[in-house]
Structure 1
Amino acid sequence: MEQADELLRDISPVQIVLDQMRGLIEGAIGLIPSLVAALVILIITWLVAWAASSLTARLLRRSKARPSLIAAMSKVISILIWLLGLLIAMTVVFPNLTPTKLLTGLGIGSIAVGLAFKDIFENFLAGFLILLRKPMRIGDDIECEGLSGQVEHISLRDTFLRKRSGELILVPNSYLFKNPVRILTDKTLRRITVIIGVAYGEDVDASRDVIAQAMAPVAGDESDREVQVFAYEFNSSSVDFMVRWWAKSAPVDEHKSRDRAVSAIKRALDEAGIEIPFPYRTLTFNEPLPLRDDRDDADS
């Protein structure tokens, strides 16, 4: 009976719980040196990451790299150092977890993470490539697949695009990397084109001279490049001229220059008596149309 009582005491739930708690406490106490060492490693990692990112930023500033690229490179350096520090800290806390086993586990897990965060990694890589190849600068006006606006900031994931109506659009970097992008302000000047039509009864050479003289002061305020005026095509009710000149590349400057050009050409053609025709339409019918005299209706 005494042996049975001792056996019951040994398998008592309370005793089992107490034994497990005692084991956990002893294990935690045994891990304290390793945890302290891991904490020291993390502190050192933080200091090294801060120093390395600061040094990277300082060196890139000397090379006159763009601010967004400096921030991106500093962040990448800091992330890599933190990953290395975390690996070392984990191997210190868990001695059985060797770097080889940890890297093997990370390799298997990275497949699932890569599939789950494919778009994020794609935008990250696209943003890094955009920052490296310098296709556009902060403040540039761009157009891309129906989107247009001024670039305010380029991060590793998004490009901040301020529309001309004031709204802010966050465009994924992969969208800009995969699609054609028009950088309107890449150069100080860009060429503007308008089409002007004159009536078929007007003299083509005289019309060309009038348009060129009207455009001379307008284009001269923007650039010293020559204004080009070409007889372009025979339209349905007019002979069209293509007028091309150079103006400042910002969209608002383009609109102002286009406004002055259209106003000057219209005024010059009116003063010269050259007609800018309305569209003419000729209607034909298979059978003659009957004509009715309203006077006959009134007599009746």
Structure 2
Amino acid sequence: MRKPLIALLMLLTICPCWSQDQAEEQIIREADWKDTEQQIKVKPTVSDQAIEDRFERILKVSQRINEAQVKVTEGVLVLEGWTREEANRDWVEAAANRTEGVIAVVNDIELRNIDQWDLQPAVTEAVGLYEQIIRALPKITIALVLLLITWLLVKFTIALAVRAMKNKVHNPFVLRMTARLFAIPVLVVGIYLVLQLTGLTQLAVTVIGGTGLMGLVIGIAFKDIAENFLASILISIERPFKIGDYILVNGHEGVVQSVTTRGTVIMTLDGNHIHIPNAIIYKNTIVNVTANPNIRKNFTVGIGYDDNISEAQHIALEVLQKHDAVMDDPEPQVLVENLGPATVNLVVYFWVNGQQNSSAKVKSAVIRLVKRAFDEARISMPDEAREVVFPEGVRVYQEDRPNEPKPIAEKTHEPQSNVIEQDLSNEVDDIRKQSAANQLSDDKDNLIKDG
């Protein structure tokens, strides 16, 4: 009786421990089953074909893998193709792992070294560029048509402005420039529409908004051109000279041939063309020799102290009055300038018509005739005295020679006129003819062609 009771007590003690261990094992099994169900679903929510199509589009947009191929079987995504960069390969694998419905990724993408003679990238780029051009052809065609319409409207606006202002603005250059200013808004609107049509919206906003692009270009790249252009406007308005005038400016002198928007062309007496920028013309002093046809010339002649000054003045003045090329009004003058070391210096002033005669030729003729008149009147023209100092003295030796009469040099008679002075015409006329025959610019580009 005692033994069965002990066995029953031991059984009751063991049973609770067995039941508790069995319950814990059951809980662990249920938890493992739940984790397995979260990782691998028996019924996939996305089909293999949908995953394959989706990832193929991703690879096409990214353009990271060449010759890419995607295969999906039971949620396992297999990638094939090649690339030159490890980063592209890792990026595609990471994107595949984040794709919905993908259980595992098999990355068979190949890494290839860069071949210097591989033309495939260039071919791919050329094909892409060709496709872009084909897609953009309709827009390009419409843009070209719009540009043509804009050009026609600009020409029409300029012609209309010229017709409206022709009677009010007489300067042809100012008239053309003002007419083009009226056409600027039409041109800007046309360019804006073309840029907007071709998809360059930001650039179109920049053009129409006036962000200082034009001022920046003119101020930096075209500073000299803009300066010469503005100077040409001022020269065209003020007219300091006209075509054919003989001018001196900045060390250059010659006959004005043309004035363009960039510079002024003059022809020198040597027949050379000199192109002077308008900015230099406008900033420097301009001497217009032919603006006033009358040119005053002068020269100095010295007579001896024993000669009659009044007589010498009268003789020189008579020579000037008898010369055909010397003007009577303003009248010529012969004045005493100063008393030199050995001579009384007289200054002869006279005027010449520069358009009819050469002032240099007339001056040459007058000097020769005054010298001839002084010789005939026995008025001496001595050289200035010179003093030579010999610190050690001068030894004089006398040589015994028979008395021989010294020959007297015969004085040549100066003629009244000579061959050189037969033609006193102005040489500037010849330069004007050469300038007209050798124009460097078109007549329409000449800003002061109407003289």
Q: Same fold (TM over 0.5)?
A: yes
Give the fraction of aligned pairs with identical amino acids, expressed as a percent.
22
Deviation at 1:29, TM superposition (A): 2.8
**What is the aligned partner in structure 2 of residue 291 from structure 1?**
396
Deviation at 1:75, TM superposition (A): 3.7
**What is the aligned partner in structure 2 of residue 86 from structure 1?**
187
**Root-mean-square deviation over aligned CA pairs:** 3.3
Task: Give the match's secondary structure for 2:229.
Answer: helix
Task: Give the partner amino acid of 1:87.
Answer: V
Rounded to whole Å, the distance in 2 between the matches of 1:75 and 1:106 is: 27
The structure showing larger relative contact order (alpha-carbon pairs under 8 Å, at least 6 residues apart) is: 1
Farther-moved stretch of structure 1 (277-286 vs 262-271): 277-286
Task: Give the match's secondary structure for 2:337.
Answer: strand
Farther-moved stretch of structure 1 (27-36 vs 115-124): 27-36
**Structure 2 residue corresponding to 1:238, chosen from 320, 323, 343:** 343
Rounded to whole Å, the distance in 2 between the matches of 1:118 and 1:23 is: 39
Task: Give the partner amino acid of 1:248.
Answer: N
On the 8 A contact 2:325/2:353 being kept in 1, the answer is no
**Structure 2 residue corresponding to 1:11, chosen from 59, 63, 78:** 59
Deviation at 1:216, TM superposition (A): 0.9
**What is the aligned partner in structure 1 of residue 293 from structure 2?**
188
Rounded to whole Å, the distance in 1 between the matches of 2:175 and 2:157 is: 12
**What is the aligned partner in structure 1 of residue 371 from structure 2?**
266
**What is the aligned partner in structure 1 of residue 161 from structure 2?**
52
Deviation at 1:231, TM superposition (A): 0.3
Deviation at 1:166, TM superposition (A): 0.7
Whose helix proportion is higher, 1 or 2? 1
Pairing of 1:200-279 with structure 2 (within 5 A) = 200-218=305-323, 222-250=327-355, 253-279=358-384
Deviation at 1:30, TM superposition (A): 5.1
Residues 113 and 2 (structure 1 numbering): CA distance in 2 closer, same or farther, change over 3 Å?
same
Deviation at 1:272, TM superposition (A): 0.5
Unaligned runs of 5+ in 2: 1-47, 69-123, 401-451
**TM-score when normalising by structure 2:** 0.56
The Cα offsets for residues 187-215 of structure 1, whole Å up to 9 and x where unpaired, read as 12122111121122222111111111111
The Cα offsets for residues 37-70 of structure 1, whole Å up to 9 and x where unpaired, read as 44322212122224434665x437xx7x5xxx41
On the 8 A contact 1:91/1:97 being kept in 2, the answer is no
**What is the aligned partner in structure 1 of residue 303 from structure 2?**
198
Question: Which structure has the greater CA radius of gyration?
Answer: 2
Rounded to whole Å, the distance in 2 between the matches of 1:217 and 1:97 is: 82
**What is the aligned partner in structure 1 of residue 177 from structure 2?**
76
Task: Give the match's secondary structure for 2:358.
Answer: helix
Farther-moved stretch of structure 1 (246-255 vs 234-243): 246-255
Residues 227 and 5 (structure 1 numbering): CA distance in 2 closer, same or farther, change over 3 Å?
same
**What is the aligned partner in structure 1 of residue 103 from structure 2?**
none
On the 8 A contact 2:218/2:226 being kept in 1, the answer is no
Unaligned runs of 5+ in 1: 296-300
Residues 38 and 165 (structure 1 numbering): CA distance in 2 closer, same or farther, change over 3 Å?
closer
Deviation at 1:261, TM superposition (A): 1.1
Task: Give the partner amino acid of 1:246.
Answer: W
Task: Give the match's secondary structure for 1:52.
Answer: helix
Pairing of 1:80-159 with structure 2 (within 5 A) = 80-95=181-196, 96=201, 101-102=206-207, 104-105=209-210, 107-159=212-264
Residues 251 and 158 (structure 1 numbering): CA distance in 2 closer, same or farther, change over 3 Å?
farther
The Cα offsets for residues 54-89 of structure 1, whole Å up to 9 and x where unpaired, read as 665x437xx7x5xxx41x224423542453332111
